[in-house]
Amino acid sequence: MLIGCCALAQQPITALQRFELYGQAQGTTYTISYYDEKPRVNQSAIDSIFAVIDRSMSLYKEGSLINQFNANDTKRIAMDPHMATVIKKSFAIHKESKGQFDITVKPLVSLWGFGPDNRQDLPDATAIANAMKTVGMKKLRVRGNSLLKRVPSLQIDLNGIAQGYTVDVLHDYLMAKNITQFIVEVGGEIRAHGEKPDGTPFRVLIDRPESAGNTISHVVELRNKAITTSGSYEKFRQVKDYTFSHHIDPRTGYPIKSSTIAVTVIAETAMDADAYDNVFMAMNPRDAITFANSKNIIDIYLLYLEEGQVKEGYSKGFKKYLLTD
């Protein structure tokens, strides 16, 4: 693609080049690809963004703001702008999902062996009941820029939304650098802006688990959208004869039993896509599609089991993103 116009006819015409940054952060990998005349961002700037967000919301970062809040002797903290944004969105999605999305599930996540302490055994009913006493976003309050506990032992886990938020922060950083054609991916959370120099949109292959059998792999085309895929196949444990995923129902305290194998969400922001994929994984497939259609700003693609067969489902707007070549 050549840039320039009649008013700048005397100026040199410069072809856009593709630049890529990649590395490891937040326990996963990231890739940033963008098109410009010259490199405008460097690795250290990107790594600094990850470091700032980790100091705010990483459960694996000693001394992080979230770990300070989760300490038993902490009643409140002053949130930084990153945490404040994520907490505000968490409350909104909690309400829209009728309690399915809940950031106070950390005690349950830990009990079932998906937390930093890497617990190996299965929790009994008494342990789950005790953990449930501290679960529920009604036990959490925001007052100004302060986050307060209504229950002393309450703990939060932002892993179901913070990685998508990180992608959005990187998106905004690139935009501030006057980079307008790019795609950002962090651990499978993706957001694209603009298009490639040849005028085509960015293309993303939807992850398809082995359990989906011969189901066709789809490619979607993205302009100014975010996409994420979540599935019961991503993180799971097997203890004796019991296999269960990392999706824990905050209303029961037990891993979610769902016919949905995987869900792909396309949204305006990666934070929305990241949070809502957890919600859709817990819903009946038909209810999930109805919910997405009612939102009218989110589109989804589902793989689910019905009578032993793998089936596909779409929201009304999803097909417009599919590559049909």
Q: What is the 3-state secondary structure (H, E, C) of 236-294?
A: EEEECCEEEECCECCCCCCECCCCEEEEEEEECCHHHHHHHHHHHHHCCHHHHHHHHHH
Q: Contact at 8 Å (CB) between 266 and 318?
A: yes
Structure tokens at 279: 């919600």
**Element containing residue 301 per DSSP (H, E):** strand 299-306
- DSSP designation for 15: B
Q: Contact at 8 Å (CB) between 137 and 156?
A: no
CA distances from 77 to 49, 84, 138 (A): 22, 11, 17
Give the separation between CA 86 and CA 190, rounded to whole angstroms. 17
Give the separation between CA 306 and CA 72, rounded to whole angstroms. 44
**Element containing residue 167 per DSSP (H, E):** helix 162-176
Q: Contact at 8 Å (CB) between 144 and 6?
A: no
Q: Does 160 show up as a binding residue in the annotation?
A: yes
Q: Contact at 8 Å (CB) between 311 and 304?
A: yes
CA distances from 228 to 33, 258, 268, 276, 281 (A): 17, 19, 11, 9, 12
Q: Does 23 show up as a binding residue in the annotation?
A: no
Longest distance between any two alpha carbons in the chain, whole Å:
77
Tell me the binding residues.
160, 274
Tell me the binding residues for Mg(2+).
160, 274
